[in-house]
Amino acid sequence: MTTTLHITNGDDFTSYLKKLKLEGEIITWREMLCEGKTLTEVGSESFWKTRYEYLHRYYKISKANFIEATLKEYRRLCNQKSQEEIVLWFDEDLFCQINMIAVASWLKKHRKGAQISLVCKKQKKSTPFILTNFSEEQLHKLYQSRITLTQDDIEYADYLWQLYCSDTPLRLETFSKFNSSQFPYLTDAIALHLHRFPTVKNGLNELENKVLQTADQKRIASKSKFVQSLVKMDTQYGYGDMQYINMLGHLKPLFKSFSPVRLNQEGKNVLSRAENYYPFIKSEDIYLGGAKKYSFLYHEDTSKLLKL
């Protein structure tokens, strides 16, 4: 058996990583835990049941596809028990960082004693850390300079996962203000997560307001081009086509049309903060981690979360 296990952030990078011909097995973590309800016990029956229900309801993922794409790969992970080192390959965006702490939580329980390493840049740069943007030579150098995580580091990541899955995001505010040298991107991701709760002023969160702003400022001919523009614009959240199409479904009443993309008067009023859309978009069924999205409001002036 090989002595190294690589866990990657998605299929695109897995394909890229295979070209490097590094020693070891590769497992792809196929989840999007930054959206929908999450439970602390990663990999448990109730965890996967909760995740499937969310993905089926909001993304029409069939049970067969969920089993084939996600559960089979997870079972492959469960069968990798002999490796001495486990290497984590995750981008800096919110999507990847939430998945990363979930994986760390799982490793803490199921792979005690294994050496866990993280591939990253030790100092944050102005250029986003996206693994597929690096050349093969650069990736080899990143791999050689990977960070070995201590038990305390794993405990820290696991604790943040527990807080992310709790029914309140308020305790995460403290951690959004502390930098971690071992996890250089995690602090910013947690702060960004807090910005996903609706704002006091118009009931939409930071990203939803950016979506309206983009629609209002740019002349975009179609919904598909609009989605492409949003994905290209987004380097912090790490959302793809599916996430933005889902978001536009919630925001649809604020649009006059999607071909071309135009806000209606209500959309313009909400964007200018002249109207609060919270009563119309509020839902008891939408979760961010363990917390109900519309049970908290983000106060832009104080940068604080408020519990309703």
- What percent of the chain has pLDDT above 70? 96
What does the pLDDT read at residue 1?
53
pLDDT at 119 > cutoff 70: yes
Strand 304-307 to strand 296-299: parallel, antiparallel, or no bridges (unpaired)? antiparallel
Edge-to-edge order in the sheet of strand 4-8: 25-28, 4-8, 85-89, 115-119, 147-149
What does the pLDDT read at residue 124?
65
**SS3 call for 272:** coil
**SS3 call for 278:** helix
CA distance 150 to 242: 36
What does the pLDDT read at residue 303?
87
- What percent of the chain has pLDDT above 90? 90
pLDDT digits (tens, 9 = 90+) for 178-228: 766 689 899 999 999 999 999 999 999 999 999 999 999 999 999 999 999
Q: How confident is the model at residue 2 (pLDDT cuts 50, 70, 90)?
A: low
Across the range 145-150, mean pLDDT stands at 94
The upper half-sphere exposure of residue 169, i.e. CA atoms within 13 Å in the direction of its Cβ, equals: 30
CATH number of the 4-194 domain: 3.40.1360.10
Across the range 2-11, mean pLDDT stands at 92
pLDDT at 123 > cutoff 70: no
pLDDT at 99 > cutoff 90: yes
pLDDT digits (tens, 9 = 90+) for 233-273: 988 999 999 999 999 999 999 999 999 999 999 999 999 99
pLDDT at 280 > cutoff 70: yes
118 contacts: CB under 8 Å, gap ≥ 6: 87, 88, 90, 146, 147, 149, 182, 183
pLDDT at 43 > cutoff 60: yes
What does the pLDDT read at residue 42?
98
Query: Nearest Cα to 26, choosing from 34, 36, 16?
Result: 16
